[in-house]
Structure 1
Amino acid sequence: MAADLQKWRRSLPIFPARGKLLKEIKARPSCVVVGETGSGKTTQIPQYLLESGVGTSGVVAVTQPRRVAAVSVAKRVAEERGCQLGSEVGYAVRFDECYSSETRLKYMTDGMLLREAMSDPTLSRYSTVILDEAHERTVHTDLLFGVVKAAQGKRRGDLRVVVMSATLAAEEFSLYFNQAKVLYVQGRQFPVEVLYAAEPQQDYLHSAVVSILQLHCSMGPGDILVFLTGREEIESVQGVLRECQSMFPSNWQGIHVQPLYAALPSHHQQQVFKPAPQGCRKVILSTNIAETSVTIPGVRCVVDPGLVKARGYSPVVGLDILSVQPISQAQARQRAGRAGREAPGSCYRLYTEHTFSQLRENSEPEILRCTLTSVVLELLAMGMSDLLTFDFMTAPSEEGLVSALEQLCLLGAVEGREGKEGVRLTALGGKMATFPLEPGLSRAILQSSVSVCVSDYVCSCDCCCRREAAAKKWCVWQLCSLWTLSSSLLPPSETRWLLPTRRFHSPHGDHLTLLAVYHAYTAASGKKAWCRENFIHQRNLRAALDVQPQLVELSSRVGVALVSNSDSRTVRRALLDGLHCQTAEHVGGGRYRTLSSRQEVFIHPSSCLFHVRPHPPCVMYSQLVHTSKCYMRNVSVIEADWLAS
């Protein structure tokens, strides 16, 4: 097995460049490595550095935008090195860590390294920081650029920085890191034929299904990769394909559908890398996670509707809104390239060539299009009182920074510095920064310790009346742990009202519904069977519960006493303390208007309040999603007089 792994390592496109890469990286403080997905840069360059002795003077950190990549790559590299995960090779993602004092190579999300920088601004335990998937330009990636560059300056060349990107747009990274040398790694790319739609498609999901079926009937051996915008689209298309396959003649090749999205349990994600069953063609329905983060073997054809779900800041509502947006030309090329990793392939773009020509060349950095509340809180926690002097690679607007400060001021997290320019964290703000959560959630946890916490009231399945769960008392922090994975715990919205989970719906809204689901789960004798019967993702539920001990430890660290009570109003009032800018009132016909900006919004179909009549007069929500309308997600009922206090 070990010999096979070493043989596989030597077969990667990056291996012939090993000597040159090591020479160039070790000769200078910073460099940029450009290599296509599948070249081996993520797994091999960190190992090359370890093998050359770099890890002896400090840990080698490799950052990833996505937790699934950080964990899966760490597992793979540990396997290649023949060590137990958590010893020489480890990982750290939010609420999940696996490393020790022996760890010399640590894969981690951008956010985790940022949190370390709050207490250790020079990143003193690291000899090398590798910023992988830099082309994605997430908020945390951009913020980390500035933090690492500042640490490098303070350590006077004692910290080596390697920026790795899967796209050719490396000049910006090079300029930012003081004219860092750009190194190119040859990928393994076969020709890909790109075909466009003759005319714009009105229903891209219908077009995707038709394309899949046509390709399945006409193409030779190979699998099909389809890019969709999210879990609900994936499960919708999966259901349609299942119905279509039931009508196939008995002598036809079958379709083996594999979904892939970030919230999918890891053991399900790993299924996409396995061959389809005998007599079947694999069809992978994926979000943009398959663009660059993973390489899926066997793919010969890509179906690309040209869309992605992304966060964008809305000045109208003063919040981030998730919406479906056109991809960039660079993303389109990345998607097409998935079909040519092992053999010649084809890419069917469900948009016209003219539409492609109108797409922006590269994606806009996330820091320019999302709220900066968390970013500002993290910077202030690092001691950056004058935000305008921070060395951003791409500076956000001054208006965006001011808006973030206003939000933090309303939460009680910041205050002006008497007689000086800039702002500083309050004692409350310092405690909020300790939690790896959105500032509003952190404030809610802290507020719950000032008031009290709650037990749940659940909706009885036979009479829909309230009943207190005996001896089950819950705090806001426990609800927040469930909230971190709420979108991936429950079944999709189009089926939820037809399934057994309806009996868990609380008349107070989605937050207490999550608690009701948890109580039923903990009371069940056969938990796996219970989850299967109720269409609940057990692994994701358990992952959310694993968060709780860490929130307890963090709460103890900042002196928060976690007490409980039996009043369902109290938990909603504590949540409102963190979400008071995210409230709306009913104005008739299912329409709501946000109280902060008077934006028209609607309750999302996935909410347990969607079918409640009469409509709740006043609600709070955690997220806005824009599809055909602007929808509120994670919605709970509040009372109007709570807002006055």
Structure 2
Amino acid sequence: MADRSTMSEQDKHLMEKEICPDSETADCVEEAFVFGEDLELNRFDGLPFSSRYYKLLQERQSLPVWKAREEFLDILVNNRLVIVSGTTKTGKSTQIPQWCAEFCLSAQYQHGVAVSTQIHSQQAVDLALRVADEMDVNIGHEVGYTIPLETCCSTDTVLRFCTDALLLREMMSDPMLEHYGAIVIDQAHERTVSTDILLGLLQDILVHRPDLRVVILTVSSMTDRLLAHYGSNVPVVSLEALCPAEVVYSNCSSKDYFYSALRLVLEIHRTKEEGDVVLFLASPQEVVCSRAILQREGTRLGAELGELVPVVLCPGQGRTPSRLGEGMGSRGTVTTRCRLVFLSTSQGEDMFWAVDSVNFVIDVGLEKRHVYHPRIRANSEVLRSISRYQADIRKQLTGPTGTDIRKQLTGPTGKCFCLYPEERVLPIETSPQILDTNLTFTILFLKRMEIAGLRHCDFITRPDPEGLMQSLEELDYLAALDDVGNLSEIGIIISELPLDAQMAKALLASCEFDCVNEVVTIAAMLSAPSCFLEPPDGRTQEVQQCHRKFRHPEGDHFTLINIYNAFKYSQRETYFSVEKWCQDYHLNHRALQTADAIRSELTDILKRIELPISETSFGTKTNTLNIKRALLAGFFMQIARDVDGSGNYFMLTNRHLAQVHPASSYGAKAHQLGFPEWVLFHEYTLSGNHGIRTVSEISPAVFIQTAPQYFYSNLPPSESKDLLQHILDRDGSGRKDKQQTLTINSKADKDCSTVAQSYDRCVLQ
């Protein structure tokens, strides 16, 4: 493919003619943005346009956003910040980034290229594929994408789609985002932590970079909050709203919404009315359950009704809009009807930009959100109402897109069944995730940005003070902060690793204990989705028996190493089918592939910052002890003791009682071998039986040697603390041993000569 340096002289002349200095009139500015459809050659690659380009151009011109094209481009030339409000099917996510790329092209990329953020990886990929098709260029060349563990870009890339979290991480090496001339923040109304931080920092970046253009894509209900934050003089481009579907409300009980929704799906199918169905449920678990039920019930319906095909379409799992035609049974045949039932959850509304066959929407009006409780360091799942803007978006998902979208402007094109009363008061906007999540990463990142010169992040919603204090305390315990509250050398290294702070500290400590290979495997397995598949109905015993073959007597962290090693062994043996092997042992093949990719990425980072990587010696007593020491270096705040021998674990930091999760190695074999007295756990959740997950046995003596003295002294009074004090009094050498073996964990020992040696081994190059 020809690049920009190989354009014809005629094309270069046309491009230069369209570039106007700021001092020229508005007429010249308008001329600068004459699009390539009037030219014979594509200005991005210098090649003639294909016939498909003109076909897609007709579809693009029918989108509601196209009516605002000239207005948007005029505003973009004269303003550094622009807000565009509109719903999913207006076309803003595909067209606005292209126009921003045109803007960067008009300046010959002197100020950088264009980037557009998404909150989910698959949406970034799907949009990049669609936009590359519309721009008539090859994916990975002029248009590309970057998502975790995958990059499809080149030096020719002028428009990149990426996740908001990855753009944040990119700021660590490019704080002012000088590689970009235009930044599109899409889905700002979803209020993810990464998007909120970007919106806060970009305000400061714009002060330093007057050449930068920032475009925020959101819904109308979010516009007022953004104007209150950035100032009422910020221009807003409001896209024409689509006509919503006919809305039918219900007085369905909040307890019965799940089965009521499934019954409604089957009733719609029995009416034989044309059109696919979208069902919004509260959680991914409900999506999986509903898929199994609809598959079973669909086979019992008469053949004359046609095939009922449930399709999972929610963030992080299932099919994607670009692949909906794959594996759809007999949908493509003429003789057999097929109705798709798209099963989605909260934050799934923006995934339907490429779906034009929906005629029915069923909205349960609820969502399950994960909420972090800083005082007890625990997660819980809370069921609550969706926001008003989510409800409005869902009402507008019926009807066609593309060339037929004008039909939606004349009247309702489908039905939306809201399984809640019309008088229910919905919150105006979604609760910002920054109020519900652990803020340790946020604080770590902002401390890193302070080093780079960005000292102010003006949050749209201020984080919870208690959460901020807890995060600062945690970073202090992990020795990530120095005496004046700035990042220490250890903190800088931790910020380099794409892990939570505790896991990053454990991986860093593994360099001291010569067990990097094992701990990096644990980190990768815990960062990836769970490798254990849920047992089908009636096969729980069979699945547990398969998983039991991997269990390690020292605990769940070691079991994860066993599973990963077995997975890699099955890859090396040519007579094994890896997919078949995972299926036989009821393991998630995709999750294990993800863990393998994460492990490779972590290993590369350790090599880049020149940290030592030891040879594996998994299985020896010394290695087992060293793994536990490394894990304790990061997770000493998550220790529990069995107080009565029956699995009632008392947590030292908050004095709560919890049970071991049934999926744990100890949870399954407790009736045979009993529970270990002292354990380290990875996660504590308040749902169900207040379970602690990913549990491994530890020695209290090793815990005393590893945990910082000031953490131990700050533990609330308890019988368990008294037992630790007794061990400490009996073995006065415990503190001395710690200074000799794990100086990296104690601020109190920073003056020791051994600390200087450990710092020398962990200096960022």
**Structure 2 length normalisation: TM-score?**
0.75
Partner of 2:109: 56
Look up the match of 1:468: none
Match of 1:565 in 2: 617
* Amino acid paired to 1:371: N
Give 1:387 shift.
11
Q: 1:29 aligns with which of 80, 83, 98?
A: 80
Distance in 2 separating the partners of 1:597 and 1:78: 52
CA distance in 2, matches of 1:32, 1:585: 53
Please give the secondary structure, in 2, of the residue aligned with 1:353: coil
1:462 maps to none
Change (3 A) 1:172 1:289: closer
Is 1:631 aligned to 2:691, yes or no?
yes
User: Structure 1 pair 225/636, CA: closer, same or farther in 2 (3 Å)?
Assistant: farther
Distance 1:68 1:438 in 2: 23
Residues 379-404 of structure 1 show CA distances to partners (whole Å, capped at 9, x for unaligned) of 11112699995322222233322221
Decide which of 156, 163, 169 is 1:109's aligned counterpart: 163
SS in 1 for 2:300: coil
Q: Which runs of 5+ in 2 are unaligned?
A: 1-51, 332-336, 402-407, 571-575, 706-765
1:552 aligns with 2:552: no
Q: Distance in 2 between matches of 1:73 and 1:404?
A: 35
Deviations 1:302-347 (A, max 9, x none): 2222222323231441344344333222222223332355662222
Contact 1:265 1:540 (8 Å CA) reproduced? no
Distance 1:177 1:248, change over 3 A: same
Please give the alpha-carbon distance, in whole angstroms, between the structure 2 residues aligned to 1:615 and 1:389. 49
Shift of 1:130: 1.0
Alpha carbons of structure 1 residues 522 and 530: separation in structure 2 relative to 1, 3 Å = same
Taking the aligned partners of 1:349 and 1:610, their CA distance within structure 2 comes to: 41
Matched, 1:206 2:250: no
The root-mean-square deviation of aligned C-alpha atoms, in Å, is 2.8
Change in Cα spacing, 1:214 to 1:544, as seen in structure 2 (3 Å) is same
Asked if the contact 1:620/1:635 (under 8 Å) is kept, the reply is: yes
1:329-366 residue CA offsets vs partner (Å, 9 max, x unmatched)? 22222233323556622223333334x32x32212211
TM alignment of 1:432-451, pairs within 5 A: 432-451=494-513
Distance of 2:148 and 2:435 partners within structure 1 = 24
- Preserved CA contact (<8 Å) 1:46 1:62: yes
Alpha-carbon separation, structure 1, partners of 2:156 and 2:202: 23
Q: How far has the Cα of 1:608 moved from its partner?
A: 4.4
AA aligned to 2:380 is I
Q: Which residue of 1 is the match for residue 682 of structure 2? A: 622
Describe how 1:147-296 pairs up with structure 2 within 5 A. Answer: 147-155=201-209, 157-178=210-231, 179-196=233-250, 198-218=251-271, 220-264=273-317, 270-271=323-324, 277-278=330-331, 279-295=337-353, 296=355
> How far apart are the structure 1 equivalents of 2:684 and 2:364?
23
1:599 aligns with 2:656: yes
Pair 640,194 (structure 1): closer, same or farther in 2 beyond 3 Å: farther
Q: Does residue 143 of structure 1 match 2:197? A: yes
**Counterpart in the other structure of 1:311:** 370
Taking a change above 3 Å as real, the CA distance of residues 426 and 182 of structure 1, as seen in their structure-2 partners, is same
Q: Which amino acid aligns with 2:365?
A: G
Within the alignment, does 1:405 sit opposite 2:472 as a pair?
A: yes
Aligned to 2:35: none
Q: Which amino acid aligns with 2:126?
A: S
**Structure with larger Rg:** 2
1:125 correspondence with 2:179:
yes
CA separation in 1, counterparts of 2:72 and 2:551?
57
- Measured in 2, the distance between the counterparts of 1:625 and 1:398 equals 22
Question: 1:617 and 1:6, CA in 2 relative to 1: closer, same or farther beyond 3 A?
Answer: farther
Q: Is the 2:89–2:397 Cα contact (8 Å) retained in structure 1? A: no
**Secondary structure of 1:391's partner?**
coil
Matched, 1:13 2:56: no
In 1: Cα distance, 2:682 partner to 2:396 partner: 37
Sequence identity percentage: 29
Is 2:362 aligned against 1:362? no
* Mapped partners of 1:251, 1:266: distance in 2: 27
1:519 aligns with 565
**Are residues 190 and 200 of structure 1, via their aligned partners in 2, closer, same or farther at CA, if it must alter by over 3 Å?**
closer
Structure 2 CA distance, aligned partners of 1:218 and 1:501? Answer: 45
Alignment of 1:15-94 (within 5 A): 15-52=66-103, 53-54=105-106, 56-57=109-110, 58-94=112-148
Q: How far off its partner does 1:435 sit? A: 0.9
Tell me, yes or no, if the aligned pair for 2:556 and 2:695 is still in contact at 8 Å.
yes
Aligned equivalents of 1:250 and 1:338: distance in 2? 28
CA distance in 2 between partners of 1:620 and 1:340 (Å): 53
Q: Give the conservation status (yes or no) of the 8 Å contact 2:378–2:685.
A: no
Indicate if the aligned counterparts of 2:638 and 2:651 stay in contact, CA closer than 8 A: yes
Deviation for aligned residue 1:615: 3.4
SS in 1 for 2:88: coil
Deviations 1:169-211 (A, max 9, x none): 2022123334311111124444331322x24232433333223
Partner of 1:577: 633
Distance (whole Å) between structure 2 residues aligned to residue 533 and residue 42 of structure 1 = 42
- Whether the 8 Å CA contact 2:181–2:213 is kept in 1: the answer is yes
Residues 31 and 180, structure 1, Cα contact 8 Å, conserved in 2: yes
Asked if structure 2 preserves the Cα contact closer than 8 Å seen for 1:317 and 1:596, the reply is yes
Please tell me whether the aligned partners of residues 306 and 326 of structure 1 are also in contact (alpha carbons under 8 angstroms): yes
Deviation sequence 1:390-426 (CA, Å, 0-9, x none) = 3222222333222211010111111222xxxxx1111
How far the C-alpha of 1:582 sits from its partner, in A, is 2.7
Render the CA deviation track for 1:438-461: whole Å, top value 9, x for unaligned. Answer: 11111111011111227xxxxxxx
Quote how far apart the aligned CAs of 1:60 are: 0.8
What's the secondary structure of 2:376's corresponding residue? Answer: coil
Give the equivalent residue in structure 2 for 1:504.
550
Distance 2:314 2:542 in 1: 24
Amino acid at match of 2:277: I
Moved more, 103-112 or 518-527: 518-527
Out of 543-552 and 103-112, give the one that drifted further: 543-552
Q: Deviations over 1:25-61 (max 9, x none)?
A: 2211111000110211111111122234357221111
Q: 1:415 to 1:272 in 2, by over 3 A?
A: farther
Give the AA of the match of 1:346: K
Change (3 A) 1:609 1:387: farther
Distance 2:214 2:177 in 1: 12
> Residue 611 of structure 2 aligns to a residue in which SS?
coil
Whether 1:347 aligns to 2:416 is: yes
Counterparts of 1:497 and 1:335, CA distance in 2: 41
